[in-house]
């Protein structure tokens, strides 16, 4: 089943979400997105096309706009969409009559012919439950190996997240105190994406100039290099859409400048590894070609 989301200029100022009950018994959410946008989703359409071509249809765009228009004072149309993204859900066929009734939970199956290792398959799943899913898979593995181990991820923070999330705003303020040149929106975005690891990106910088080249939005060279060196980013899409959403804030010419910069540092890394010496801190940068 294909699900699509649309992003439009921010529909309201506060930071809460809406769940809109549709007449077709589905719900549509509206969520504040990045700083200046609202995210609206999702749809549920049977995907008949190729899996290499997963994009929102006109009909889905209209459906999402119509849901908003049923409830909000301000109305939107497909022309207001600044970005959209779609993906195909692998849903477990549990015999439900229609797509919206099929469970969105994951299923784990373990098959064996009794002679070798079992084949463990994961069907469906959510980002929000991935650690639970991983523990469930490991308990299948434990069973196959005849060992026991305790789950530990329930109390282990994600990288950069070892602070009380209720004190998020204080963490942003602390980052601004440590780096007084940062704008509030920049500090907020860094803390939201990287948490305490933001300091690893900002390093010793005490001015914007010391963050390196500026690419638009509030994206600077330090962050781009960090993403390439630590989060396997290799392309403009990785940086602007997969690791950050700064694609919403860059103009076409800024995207081209970033693209040229990536080519430069990838070829620098390639030539230094040809010489047998990796660029300091760039050893994980790989050519996308
Ligand atoms: C429309 C939609 C809405 C969703 N909404 C939510 C939500 O609100 N909350 C939530 O928690 N979850 C949501 N999910 C589920 C969530 O997106 C997935 O659970 C999550 O992305 C799974 O992560 P993953 O890394 O296991 O797999 P994926 O994100 O699917 O990543 C697998 C990657 O492997 C690549 N790949 C596949 N085959 C190969 C190959 N042979 N060689 C190299 N690369 C390959 C793929 O291109 C892909 O990039 C949603 C899913 C969809 C489709």
Which residue(s) pair with 113 in the sheet?
A: none
What angle (nearest 5°) sits at the alpha carbon of residue 250, between those of residues 76 and 77? 10
Number of domains the chain is built from? 3
Tell me the per-residue pLDDT of 251-267, one tens digit each, with 9 for 90 and over: 999 999 999 999 999 88
123 in contact with ligand 1, CB cutoff 6 A: no
**Domain annotation covers residue 285:** no
Cite the DSSP H helix spans in 231-279: 236-237, 252-274
Question: Any idea what the CATH number is for the domain that residue 267 is in?
Answer: 1.10.8.870
Per-residue pLDDT of the chain (289 residues; tens, 9 = 90+): 899 999 999 999 999 999 999 999 999 999 999 999 999 999 999 999 999 999 999 999 999 999 999 999 989 999 999 999 999 988 887 777 777 777 778 999 999 888 888 999 999 888 999 999 999 999 999 999 999 988 888 889 999 999 998 999 999 999 999 999 999 999 999 999 999 999 999 999 999 999 999 999 999 999 999 999 999 999 999 999 999 999 999 999 999 999 999 999 988 888 877 654 444 333 333 333 3
Indicate if 36 and 58 belong to the same structural domain.
yes
φ, ψ (nearest 5 deg) of residue 62: -65, -40
Cα(95) to ligand 1 centroid in Å equals 23
Which residues constitute the domain of residue 49? 2-88
Q: Would you say the C-alpha torsion 88, 94, 98, 101 has a positive or negative sign?
A: negative
> Do the domain assignments include residue 125?
yes
Strand partners, 121: 109
Q: Is the CB of 3 under 6 A from ligand 1?
A: yes
Whether 43 is in the pocket of ligand 1, judged by its Cβ within 6 Å, is no
Q: How far is the CA of 242 from the centre of ligand 1 (A)?
A: 12
Which atom in ligand 1 lies closest to the alpha carbon of residue 88? 53
In a domain, 15, yes or no: yes
Instruction: Report yes or no on 261 lying in a domain.
Output: yes
Q: What's the complex ipTM?
A: 0.91
């Amino acid at each position: 089943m294909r699900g699509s989301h649309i992003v439009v200029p921010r529909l309201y100022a506060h930071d809460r979400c809406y769940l809109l009950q549709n007449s077709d018994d589905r719900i549509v959410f509206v969520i504040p997105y990045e700083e200046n946008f609202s995210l609206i989703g999702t749809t549920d359409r049977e995907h008949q096309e190729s899996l290499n071509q997963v994009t929102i249809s006109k009909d889905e765009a209209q459906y999402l706009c119509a849901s908003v228009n049923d409830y909000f004072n301000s109305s939107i149309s497909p022309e207001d969409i600044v970005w959209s993204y779609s993906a195909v859900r692998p849903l477990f066929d549990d015999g439900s009559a229609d797509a919206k009734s099929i469970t969105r939970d994951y299923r784990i199956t373990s098959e064996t012919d009794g002679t070798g290792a079992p084949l463990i398959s994961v069907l469906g799943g959510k980002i929000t439950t991935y650690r639970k899913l991983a523990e469930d898979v490991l308990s299948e593995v434990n069973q196959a190996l005849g060992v026991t181990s305790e789950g530990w991820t329930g109390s282990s923070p994600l990288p950069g997240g070892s602070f009380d999330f209720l004190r998020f705003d204080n963490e942003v303020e602390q980052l601004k105190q440590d780096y007084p040149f940062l704008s509030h929106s920049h500090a907020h975005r860094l803390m939201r994406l990287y948490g305490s690891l933001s300091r690893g990106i900002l390093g010793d910088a005490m001015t914007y100039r010391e963050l390196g080249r500026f690419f638009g939005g509030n994206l600077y060279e330090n962050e781009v290099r960090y993403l390439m060196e630590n989060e396997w980013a290799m392309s403009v899409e990785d940086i602007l859409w997969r690791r950050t959403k700064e694609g919403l804030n860059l103009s076409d010419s800024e995207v081209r400048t970033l693209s040229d910069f990536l080519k430069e540092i990838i070829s620098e890394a390639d030539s230094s590894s040809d010489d047998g010496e990796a660029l300091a801190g760039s050893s994980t940068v790989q050519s996308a070609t």
